[in-house]
Amino acid sequence: MIPEFADPAAPSLPLWLVRSGDAGPLLPPGLGAPAESWARAQGFAGKPGQICLLPSAEGALAGALFGLGAADRPPGRERFPLARAAEALPAGNWRLENLPEGFDAGRAALGWLFAQYRFDRYKAAEPARARLVCPKGAEPRRLLALASGEYLARDLINTPASDMGPEELEEAARALAARHGATVEVTRGAGLLEANFPMIHAVGRAGAQEPRLIDLRFPGSGPRLTLVGKGVCFDTGGLDIKPPSSMALMKKDMGGAANVLGLAETMASLGLTRGLSLRVLIPAVENAISANAFRPGDILTSRKGLTVEINNTDAEGRLVLADALALAAEESPALLISMATLTGAARVALGPELPPFFCDDDATAAAIQSAGMAAADPVWRLPFWEPYETMIEPGIADLDNAPSGGFAGAITAALFLRRFAAGAGRYAHFDIYGWQPSAAPGRPKGGTGQGMRALLDALPELLA
Ligand code: BES
Ligand code: MN
Ligand code: ZN
């Protein structure tokens, strides 16, 4: 699906934004007394998300009112206030007729595009019908690029593992590369052993499709930025098999890969890749069960040489990421980012809508967190808590992939990854959920982007 605005030259209906609680007439001047009494008779009071259709004298649809709530309503309850309009208005083109003070037209337009997303690969979904003319002051090119990245991430996550294995994930990465002139190198199957990616191989070798490492480089020159995304196309838990309720959603375990590809799509569409050396690495595997599956108690030697005792085959994400991060760190990028649906513990700590991220550099972390808040893409810093390093150090190997006890599971997973990222200028890791559990305005139930806009907006500061 392609995000689209309405053609500004085509006929459109006016949409009036109305705040509640204003003294005097409810509606903006120009609408007239009949509209005012019509709105009041309908019970329209400008409450958040309230909609009132306006008739013409002939009984045709002449426009609509949309409630924004009180001017002093605390922001942030809803990320995309206008998205409700996109979901509820009748078919046709709509234009914002008034822009109240303090109303963020760019945010509103982005929310509208986000609300128009449909996942229609398996069933003809009712198409989004209401289209928005991109409002004044908003940048259509930028908003469409943001929405394309978001749509891509959602599509990849929503597609079940039966159609989104390592093979199809590679194809999606190749398609993205082809759109933007990036080069692709893929190391597969036994090639992973020859090229020294033993842990990607160990985790993925039980899958029906060959495990692989996908390596994209975008044309451009400047500071090195490397994005690494967890591409576990399905996570059964391996031999330490997950119970049904935990396995149900594990098609989304390539959410990190989906997000870094979505971010790369947006950056490349905006031409932002030209001034840097962008590389995207995706270890793509299925954590499956078979006679050749890796086992609890196995000790793996990683690309970096560190040995890892497997305490739980369900802590597979950190293993495949470790080899990819080690490769990334070998060329010392200025900034190394990983995104992964890594731990259940991150969800216990902050819930599905506020992904934690980890970064040792205070200025980098502050830039990312504040950019995320400003872009309706909230992320929250957690610490790489040094004293917990002992928790990932078992008796007979350098590292333990799944410390028993499970205390601080998101932190211990992040500390594990950090061991392999050493050599990069700065490193930030995002433990995302990648899934919207129930629909919210602009955020349909299903796969979702997390952290993409936080990173995108922080980048100028991070790579300055
Ligand atoms: N993919 C899961 C983490 C996950 C679970 C993310 C549910 C989002 C929702 C990961 O591979 C995993 O299984 N992690 C284990 C690690 C544990 C065995 C140390 C977890 O978090 O339970
Ligand atoms: Mn797992
Ligand atoms: Zn996993």
Atom from ligand 1 closest to the CA of residue 406 = 19
Closest C-alpha residue for ligand 1 atom 13: 314
Q: Is 316 in the pocket of ligand 1 (CB under 6 A)?
A: yes
The pLDDT assigned to 23 comes to 55
What whole-number percentage of the chain has pLDDT above 70? 99
Decide the pairing of beta strands 212-217 and 183-188: antiparallel
Q: Is this structure's pTM higher than 0.75?
A: yes
For the chain, the average pLDDT equals 96
What whole-number percentage of the chain has pLDDT above 90? 90
Closest ligand, as measured to the CA of 401: 1
For the question of residue 453 being annotated catalytic, the response is no
Q: How confident is the model at residue 209 (pLDDT cuts 50, 70, 90)?
A: very high
Residue 30, token pair as written in the block: 């120009």
Domain 143-462 has CATH 3.60.21.10: no
Summarize the confidence of residues 53-63 as an average pLDDT. Answer: 94
Residue 134, token pair as written in the block: 């991109």
Q: Which of these ranges, 58-62, 69-73, 108-112, 150-154, has the smallest mean pLDDT?
A: 69-73
The CATH number assigned to the domain with range 13-116 reads 3.40.220.10
**Which position has the token pair 């004044």?**
136
Q: Is 313 in the pocket of ligand 1 (CB under 6 A)?
A: no
- Candidate of 240, 242, 342 to mutate for ligand 1, largest count of ligand atoms within 8 Å of Cβ: 342
Show the CA angle centred on residue 263, arms to residues 276 and 460, nearest 5°.
45
For the question of residue 107 being annotated catalytic, the response is no
Residues 6+ apart with CB under 8 A from 214: 169, 170, 173, 184, 185, 186, 231, 280, 281, 282, 283, 284
Q: Is 164 in the pocket of ligand 1 (CB under 6 A)?
A: no
What are the beta bridge partners of residue 308? 300, 399
The per-residue pLDDT for range 321-351, each reduced to its tens digit, is 999 999 999 999 999 999 999 999 999 999 9
Res 22 pLDDT > 80: no
Atom from ligand 1 closest to the CA of residue 342 = 3
- Candidate of 287, 314, 338, 354 to mutate for ligand 1, largest count of ligand atoms within 8 Å of Cβ: 314
Active-site option among 118, 217, 242, 381: 242
Domain boundaries, the chain: 13-116, 143-462
Residue 438, token pair as written in the block: 């129930």
The most distant pair of C-alpha atoms in the chain lies apart, rounded to whole Å, by: 83
Decide the pairing of beta strands 130-132 and 380-382: unpaired
Q: Cα of 12 to ligand 3 centre, how many Å? A: 47
Q: Is 392 in the pocket of ligand 1 (CB under 6 A)?
A: no
Q: Is 402 in the pocket of ligand 1 (CB under 6 A)?
A: yes
Q: Is 253 in the pocket of ligand 1 (CB under 6 A)?
A: yes
The per-residue pLDDT for range 267-290, each reduced to its tens digit, is 999 999 999 999 999 999 999 999
Q: Is 343 in the pocket of ligand 1 (CB under 6 A)?
A: yes
Closest ligand, as measured to the CA of 433: 1
The per-residue pLDDT for range 227-243, each reduced to its tens digit, is 999 999 999 999 999 99
